[in-house]
Amino acid sequence: MQKGLSIRPSQIETMTNQLNSYPLDLHGFIDYLEAEHPEEVIRITKQVDPKFGVSGILHRLEKDGQFPLVIFENVKGSKFPLIANMHAKFERLRYGIGLEKGSISDFLNECAQREARPLQPIKIKDAAPVQEVITLGEDVNVRKFPICTYHEKDSGPFITAGMALMRDPDTDINNIGIYRHEVHENNMLGVQFSETADANVIWKKYETRGQPCPVAIIIGHHPGFFIGSLAFSSMDTDELEVAGAILQEAVPTIRCKTIPLDVPANAEIILECETIPGERRKEAPFGEYPGTYGPQRNNPVLEIKAITRRKNAFYQNAFVGHADNLLLSGIIRTTYIERTVKIACPNVREIAIPRSGRFRFFCFISIKKMMEGEAKQVAMAAFVADPFLKFVIVVDEDVDVYNDTEVLHAISVRVRADHDIFMVPYAKGSPLDPASYDPAGGSHLVTKTGIDATRKDNYPDEIYVPGNEEIDLTEFIPGYTK
């Protein structure tokens, strides 16, 4: 587990004169990191192949426990620099909302407070950075970007960090989500709208009416924009407003050139697309977040009408199934789950979505238990909040939920399997879950398991050494360090 995922609560210090002095875009954040935290950034100037070369370097770094932001300046076949691993380390997510110090709990509390104060986007009519270069019609060629092939059996290159902005035709509310896009042709992309995603609902509204669905794919932005726009929220929440709340600055938007959507003016690249009603193409296999390949499917097709970008645009990717993809999702999910379970049980103390569960499938929750039955109530509330969860483990407040060993210890000594474990078969889960009832067919049905790992009424006293906390070992062992 990354060290950043186990740090303890500390005083938050807001970077009033550091991050705020840089533009709230991807260029500005990289400038900030290189000036204030240069150890976070690695630049690679040697030519790297987008097929397995980029992913190979990132994978080797991850195996060595290293999670830097990597700027590939020379990707074979493209003139655009590639930004990788942006969200692979908790510290950079924290920096992305302006926190110099603080634990995951501090980060989540700050995000929750900001999300409660959404900011409407500001529409601008003048020139925007993301429209400095405009490509239309037959000149559109998405292959000019350093789009990577990541894993051995991937069916081709995929756009992996594109944020798809869509607008509900019935409410005009903006929705943003990240979906994979296989490159079919210079101007054609596939798209995997997960059955559980809001985007699937929006797309089907257009599809049933026989209309193309406008989709603007946002490539490259500030991590604060990612955190806000991807926050778990209901479909009546405009996620551009949440992004502004996280950034503490309204998102400036500009109208697309070919589709009726307003996009972030300070993004790096926008792919202006429309779905083609009724058309499907085979897409995948693709290495997905569980660490297995998602099956080939007949998926909708996006036609790229225009590409707009900055003159000096960065192309940003995500290494799916690895820290860059997994950590961001886990952190974002935690905020929403916490809000929901605290309605069911106000005595909830901390919540963790651990890396050991791919930041998706496990949830550890600590509570100050007041009565029997609370733990099961909390687990059920968590399952309702996030359909991707498969295992929810509820522990007492003395257990550090950011420490897998402590959670497993609680299971080993506080669980009576016949009383404290419950299962919910045929429940809604992830269609990419390899343990679903029919993974090859894309089934989203799974069995969910809740575990009450709290002390029971007849639990014996645990061993304790009085006064050990006050002992300074340097008084007894010269030169001692942890």
In a domain, 402, yes or no: yes
Alpha helices in 39-126 (DSSP H): 53-63, 90-96, 104-115
> Which of these three, 271, 289, 323, is where a domain ends?
323
Q: Collapse the DSSP code of 4 into the 3-class scheme (helix H, G, I; strand E, B; otherwise coil) and give the result.
A: helix
In a domain, 328, yes or no: no
According to DSSP, the residues that pair with 364 across neighbouring strands are 352, 393
Residue 19 is predicted with a pLDDT of: 52
Residue 9 is predicted with a pLDDT of: 31
Say yes or no: 312 and 457 in one domain.
Answer: no
What number of other Cβ atoms are within 10 A of residue 342's Cβ? 14
Residue 335 is predicted with a pLDDT of: 83
CA distances from 244 to 46, 123, 131, 230, 240 (A): 37, 13, 20, 12, 6
Structural domain for 409, as ranges: 346-482
- Rounded Cα gap, residues 5 and 331, in angstroms: 10
Say yes or no: 298 and 395 in one domain.
Answer: no
Residue 1 is predicted with a pLDDT of: 33
CA nearest to 445, candidates 388, 379, 362, 385: 388
Tally of structural domains, the chain: 2
Say yes or no: 286 and 371 in one domain.
Answer: no
In a domain, 56, yes or no: yes
- Rounded Cα gap, residues 284 and 233, in angstroms: 29
Q: What is the SS3 string spanning 127-158?
A: CCHHHCEEEEHHHCCHHHCCCEECCCCCCCCE
- Rounded Cα gap, residues 429 and 196, in angstroms: 8
In a domain, 22, yes or no: yes
In a domain, 338, yes or no: no
- One DSSP character per residue, 211-263 reads -PPEEEEEE---HHHHHHHTS---TTS-HHHHHHHHHTSPPEEEE-SSSS-EE
In a domain, 336, yes or no: no
Say yes or no: 40 and 173 in one domain.
Answer: yes
Query: Which amino acid, one-letter code, is at 390?
Result: K
Say yes or no: 263 and 368 in one domain.
Answer: no
Q: Burial level of 424, CB count in 10 A (0-12/13-18/19+)?
A: middle
Say yes or no: 263 and 319 in one domain.
Answer: yes
Say yes or no: 215 and 94 in one domain.
Answer: yes
Residue 245 is predicted with a pLDDT of: 96
| Parallel, antiparallel or unpaired: strands 252-255 and 262-264 | antiparallel
In a domain, 335, yes or no: no
Say yes or no: 315 and 438 in one domain.
Answer: no
Q: Collapse the DSSP code of 109 into the 3-class scheme (helix H, G, I; strand E, B; otherwise coil) and give the result.
A: helix
> Which of these three, 272, 290, 323, is where a domain ends?
323
Residue 431 is predicted with a pLDDT of: 82
Q: Collapse the DSSP code of 17 into the 3-class scheme (helix H, G, I; strand E, B; otherwise coil) and give the result.
A: coil
Say yes or no: 318 and 368 in one domain.
Answer: no
Question: Can you give the CATH number for the domain in which 365 is found?
Answer: 3.40.1670.10
Residue 150 is predicted with a pLDDT of: 98
Instruction: Kindly give, in sequence order, each residue whose CB lies less than 8 Å from that of residue 478, ignoring residues fewer than 6 positions away.
Output: none
Q: Label residues 160-179 b or e (16+ Cβ within 10 Å = b).
A: bbbbbbbbbeeeebbbbbbb
In a domain, 330, yes or no: no
What number of other Cβ atoms are within 10 A of residue 41's Cβ? 15
Residue 14 is predicted with a pLDDT of: 37
> Which of these three, 323, 358, 374, is where a domain ends?
323
Q: Burial level of 370, CB count in 10 A (0-12/13-18/19+)?
A: exposed
CA nearest to 245, candidates 261, 263, 254, 233: 233
CA nearest to 431, candidates 391, 392, 387, 393: 387
Q: Collapse the DSSP code of 61 into the 3-class scheme (helix H, G, I; strand E, B; otherwise coil) and give the result.
A: helix
Say yes or no: 69 and 217 in one domain.
Answer: yes
Query: Which amino acid, one-letter code, is at 465?
Result: V
Say yes or no: 305 and 414 in one domain.
Answer: no
Instruction: Kindly give, in sequence order, each residue whose CB lies less than 8 Å from that of residue 409, ignoring residues fewer than 6 positions away.
Output: 399
Omega into 264 within 30° of 0, i.e. cis? Answer: no
Q: How far is CA 414 from the centre of its chain?
A: 33
Say yes or no: 393 and 314 in one domain.
Answer: no
Question: Can you give the CATH number for the domain in which 314 is found?
Answer: 2.30.110.10
Full pLDDT tens readout for the chain, 482 residues:
333 332 223 333 333 335 567 899 999 999 999 999 999 999 999 999 999 999 999 999 999 999 999 999 999 999 999 999 999 999 999 999 999 999 888 998 899 899 999 999 999 988 899 999 999 999 999 999 999 999 999 999 999 999 999 999 999 999 999 999 999 999 999 999 987 789 999 999 999 999 999 999 999 999 999 999 888 888 899 999 999 999 999 999 999 999 999 999 999 999 999 999 999 999 999 999 999 998 899 999 999 999 999 999 999 999 999 999 999 888 888 888 988 899 989 999 999 999 999 999 999 999 999 999 999 999 999 999 999 999 999 999 999 999 999 999 999 999 999 999 999 999 989 888 888 888 776 678 999 999 999 999 889 999 999 999 999 999 999 999 87
